[in-house]
Amino acid sequence: MTNIFNYIDRPSPIHRLTGATKLICLLLWSFAAMSTYDTRLLVLLVVLSLLLFRISKIRIADVRFMLGFTAVFMLLNNLLVFLFSPQHGVELYETKHVLFSLGGNYVITKEQLFYHLNLFLKYLASIPVVLLFVCTTNPSEFAASLNRIGVKYSIAYAVALALRYIPDIQREYHEISQAQQARGIEMSKKESLFSRLKSASAILIPLILSSMDRIEVISNAMELRCFGKNKRRSWYMARPFTKWDWLSMAGSLLLLIAAFALNILNCSRFWNPFA
């Protein structure tokens, strides 16, 4: 079964960080990557994100579906940027070094290629960290740590339920798909994409019905246990912050400060090597 968003338990330093720490680091890291187009910092973020991915012991095979989806999205995004604004890099860097022409306004310039490189680096710096957060964060522990930093426990519990429900949806979809194929509905790669999409629609109705039934069961169970009656609750998976949590948050904050500092030094979000 294809893993999309699911917690993968591995003995790694990333797994040992609290969920709240990983959320704060993810936000700080994302702000740093998105707030600047300085290639030097983006390359550093890419190297660090790939290093963290290796430390986490998450294998490429575990997240290959999301990596493939991200790669397609990056290619489409870069293609559409060039189609609708082929001179955007020239406008940003205020110089023009033509490599070759494709006809009309579609001219390949060093500035445009450099801009597309920065877009690619932004995604490459952010996506591994997002996947790390999803794959290394236990939903129950994440809810406990959110409550510990001040988030209302009913909201934290709702977040945990949502994260736990994603793998259940995947498993349910896989089981219904296998049952439908046993009844003769062809969904293999031998069929055309349109036929496979048409066959997949036969799975949606039973998947929705089973999901609604599961939601009702969970709601009734929580109501019978008087969930939400008290202002506070205990958590089985709660863990205190350690020095590594504080160091991780401090490191992410330094990266964000570095991004803002480079923007000030460059007098812009863009580092211009053509000037």
What does the alpha-carbon distance between residue 24 and residue 129 come to, in Å, rounded to a whole number?
12
3-class DSSP assignment, residue 243: helix
What does the alpha-carbon distance between residue 52 and residue 111 come to, in Å, rounded to a whole number?
31
Per-residue model confidence as pLDDT tens for the chain (275 residues): 445 557 777 888 888 888 888 888 988 999 999 888 888 999 999 999 889 888 888 888 777 777 888 888 888 888 888 888 888 888 888 888 888 878 777 888 888 888 889 988 998 888 888 888 888 887 777 777 777 777 777 777 777 777 777 777 777 777 777 777 777 666 666 666 667 666 666 677 777 777 777 777 777 776 766 666 667 766 666 677 889 989 999 999 999 999 999 989 888 888 888 77
pLDDT of residue 246: 92
pLDDT of residue 47: 92
What does the alpha-carbon distance between residue 171 and residue 166 come to, in Å, rounded to a whole number?
9
CB 36 within 8 A of CB 257: no
Angular region, 95: left φ>0, alpha ψ -120 to 50, beta rest: beta
Alpha-carbon torsion 206, 207, 209, 213, what sign? Answer: positive
Q: Which of 254, 240, 263 is nearest to 25 (CA)?
A: 254
Q: Where are the domains of the chain?
A: 1-138+243-275, 152-236
pTM over the 0.85 mark: no
Alpha-carbon torsion 193, 194, 195, 200, what sign? Answer: positive
| DSSP letter string, 224-239 | HTTTTSSS----TT--
